[in-house]
């Protein structure tokens, strides 16, 4: 299990490094962009949720798993945003049309979320649950701010 997670973390590190190149890429179809960003947000949510379960005491704190989750969220928080391309506001997407109308606000919320997630990532890798608890709530709130304004439930 540990080896699989290490491979996943390595793969995500490569993907994160390649994200700027993907930003130059055009998706063959708008639905490809939607599929990509939904996958990236799912990945982010899974690993953020894993850390949240530790913070809330629902599962025991596991410093090795927290470090992996921290690495993954740092990368995954950057992946979906280049996929908010023209035409990808239709179909199976939870993205509200306001994203494309309020780009400056959306970008600001994205930047704030990524900064908060970076703090969680660093705290998760510290091996100290109290460090993680100290920054987790602000990161969760930064996610909620964007969800409240720009996400609809499917």
* pLDDT, tens digit, 9 for 90 and up, residues 59-110: 999 999 999 999 999 999 999 999 999 899 988 899 999 999 999 999 999 9
- The owner of tokens 């930047």 is 111
Q: pLDDT per residue over 14-65, tens digit each?
A: 555 555 444 446 789 999 999 999 999 999 999 999 999 999 999 999 999 9
Domains identified in the chain, total number: 1
Answer with the residue of higher pLDDT: 8 or 130: 130
pLDDT at site 26: 75
Give me the half-sphere count of Cα atoms (radius 13 Å) on the Cβ side of residue 125: 11
pLDDT at site 110: 97
Range of the domain at 56: 2-150
Query: Residue 98's domain is classified under what CATH number?
Result: 1.20.120.10
pLDDT at site 92: 86
Banded model confidence at residue 153, pLDDT cuts 50, 70, 90: confident
pLDDT at site 4: 55
Candidates 22, 127, 132, 128; CA nearest to 75 is 22
């Amino acid at each position: 299990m540990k080896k699989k997670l290490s491979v996943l973390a390595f793969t995500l590190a490569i993907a994160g490094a390649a994200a700027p190149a993907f930003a130059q890429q055009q998706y063959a179809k708008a639905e490809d962009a939607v599929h990509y960003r939904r996958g990236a947000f799912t990945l982010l949510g899974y690993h953020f949720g894993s850390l949240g379960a530790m913070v809330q005491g629902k599962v025991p704190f596991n410093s090795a798993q927290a470090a992996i989750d921290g690495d993954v969220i740092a990368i995954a928080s950057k992946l979906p945003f280049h996929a908010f391309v023209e035409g990808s506001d239709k179909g199976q997407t939870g993205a509200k049309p306001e994203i494309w109308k309020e780009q400056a606000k959306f970008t600001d919320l994205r930047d704030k979320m990524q900064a908060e997630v970076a703090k969680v990532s660093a705290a998760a890798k510290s091996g100290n649950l109290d460090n993680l608890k100290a920054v987790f709530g602000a990161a969760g709130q930064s996610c909620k701010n964007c969800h409240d304004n720009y996400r609809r439930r499917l």
